[in-house]
């Protein structure tokens, strides 16, 4: 099965995606991540105003198969939380790059280790085999 990896996004080895626009960014989990999790039944997200270092756990996702921490791809302050995904966790499965986004952040200085869509696709292919 091939997974969607929109080219305009960047990705992490922990399967989060990020779309950076100026000093703000939107973060979610990749199509591959939601597929590996299975049916998502619970999403825990941080409070607006919380600040995190790059790579820090900012929340968690639970599915019928597993629980997994969510990691922030870059350092920043949470400026918006996607409340609909908390009340309807299945949005992560049905639309991980759209309605299933998780948080919006104000990006701190310095960007973490991010991969292009092409590099991420290659990474996923390597770990699947």
What is the distance between the alpha carbons of residues 115 and 120, in angstroms, rounded to a whole number?
Answer: 6
What pLDDT is recorded for position 128?
Answer: 80
Q: The domain 11-121 is classified under which CATH number: 2.60.120.620, 2.40.50.840, 2.40.50.100, 2.30.42.10?
A: 2.40.50.100
**Which helix H or strand E contains 105, and what residues bound it?**
strand 103-107
Those residues whose C-beta lies under 8 Å from the C-beta of residue 31, and which sit 6 or more positions away, are 3, 4, 5, 96, 97
Each residue's pLDDT tens digit, 36-60: 999 999 999 999 999 999 999 999 9
Each residue's pLDDT tens digit, 84-121: 999 999 999 999 999 999 999 999 876 556 889 999 99
Q: What percentage of the chain exceeds 90 in pLDDT?
A: 88
- The residue extents of the domains of the chain are 11-121
């Amino acid at each position: 099965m091939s997974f969607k990896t929109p080219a305009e996004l960047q990705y992490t080895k922990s399967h989060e995606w990020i779309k950076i626009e100026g000093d703000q960014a939107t973060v979610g989990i990749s199509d591959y991540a939601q597929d590996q999790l299975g049916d998502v039944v619970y999403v825990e997200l941080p409070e607006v105003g919380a600040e995190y270092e790059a790579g820090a756990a900012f929340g968690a996702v639970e599915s019928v198969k597993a629980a997994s921490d969510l990691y922030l791809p870059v350092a920043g302050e949470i400026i918006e939380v996607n409340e609909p995904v908390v009340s309807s966790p299945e949005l992560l499965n049905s639309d991980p790059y759209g309605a299933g986004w998780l948080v919006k952040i104000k990006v701190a200085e310095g960007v973490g280790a991010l991969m292009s869509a092409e590099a991420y696709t290659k990474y996923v292919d390597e770990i699947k085999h």
